[in-house]
Homo-oligomer: A and B are copies of this chain.
Amino acid sequence: MIFIDACFKKPTPTAPVWLMRQAGRYLSEYRATRAKANGFIDFCRRSDLAAEATLQPIEILGVDAAIIFSDILVVPLEMGMRVEFAEKVGPVLPDPIKTQDDIDRLANDCADRLEYVYDALKIVRGALAPDKALIGFAGSPWTLATYMIEGGGSKTYATAKKMAYSAPDLLHKLLRKLSDAIGDYLLRQIDAGANAVQIFDSWGGALEKSAFFEFSWHYMKRIAKRVKSERAHIPVILFSKGAGGYLEAIDGDFDVFGVDWNTPIERAKSVLFDRYALQGNMEPARLYSKAAIEAGACDIARVMGKENGYIFNLGHGMQPDFSSENAKFLVDFVHETFAR
């Protein structure tokens, strides 16, 4: 698997490529699969449909890794929180976490309740070609905590930050509980067939440097360390959107640092590449134009084109209004451009 080789900085014939949120609404095939489910949560819980969505980008785009189709919010869902996905509104958690009691009430056995994800992983791993990797994933403790405290998405993260600055001990209790659950969950995903795991810290950049390391990176490292100590052969990828200003202080026991599109790739290379493989970081909006795709991929190739230990990806996720034709164009262009 060239994806796994790149994670471990072994030589590969070209840069492996996959796209964050590659199983998504921009694919008509995905929309057809989703239409078979009774709402988004049912979609996540139907292992057959989740497996179908997971495999589509492999077939349609020719990417080198599949990432299991799911949502980061299945963790709070299976910890017992109400999670609602209304069309075009984003997720809503109507009973947000406010107190110690709310935290105590969260189930400890969430990883046991996520069998449907493990079943989907088994189906996908059975169907995938042997040279294609399968990636498991989870949201970071901080990112999940923002949804659980805010009661959904947020522009300012005011409620979660208020807790960080006014009741840090309470927030730490929640983050510890989430870290344990996420660690269990990732280990179970590996045992079900995941060849690598990624932790998505979508809202790490909502925190200033000191708070980022205290409330987000600390827990990501803790989970990564546990996974690496128990499954050393599995690459661990950490992705924190918005951590570009904090690179000098990044540390921990993991394999691949996911670079977001705000972080110049040459800066990530100079600060982190001696210690970690790098994944990223084309600006997703370049998908709107083939000329912009070519220019963006060539810019990255000038920095990372000859390096082992580099995985091409976007610097954030695919958007619903992107075209699958341009996504396919990107994957082919990268395979050609980065060929050794």
Contacts and interface: CB of A to CB of B under 8 A. Distances in A.
State how many copies of this chain the complex holds. 2
Give chain A's interface secondary structure class: helix
Interface string A261-298: 11110010000000000000001011011001000000
Interface in A295-340: 299, 315, 319, 321
A136 B316 CA distance: 36
Contact of A288 (B162, B209, B245): B162
B292 A165 contact: yes
Interface in A154-191: 155-158, 161-162, 164-166
A244 interface: yes
B319 A288 contact: no
A165 B245 contact: no
A38 interface: no
A333 B77 CA distance: 44
A244 B242 CA distance: 10
Contact of A244 (B166, B245, B288, B299): B245
B165 A209 contact: no
Contact of A262 (B161, B208, B261, B283): B208
Interface string A76-96: 000000000000000000000
A119 B264 CA distance: 44
Contacts of A262: 205, 208-209, 242, 245
Contact of A164 (B157, B166, B205, B285): B285
Given A262-B208, A319-B158, A267 B286 contact: no
B285 A161 contact: yes
Interface of A: 155-158, 161-162, 164-166, 205, 208-211, 242, 244-246, 261-264, 267, 283, 285-286, 288-289, 292, 299, 315, 319, 321
5 contacts: A164-B285, A166-B289, A208-B315, A209-B264, A245-B264
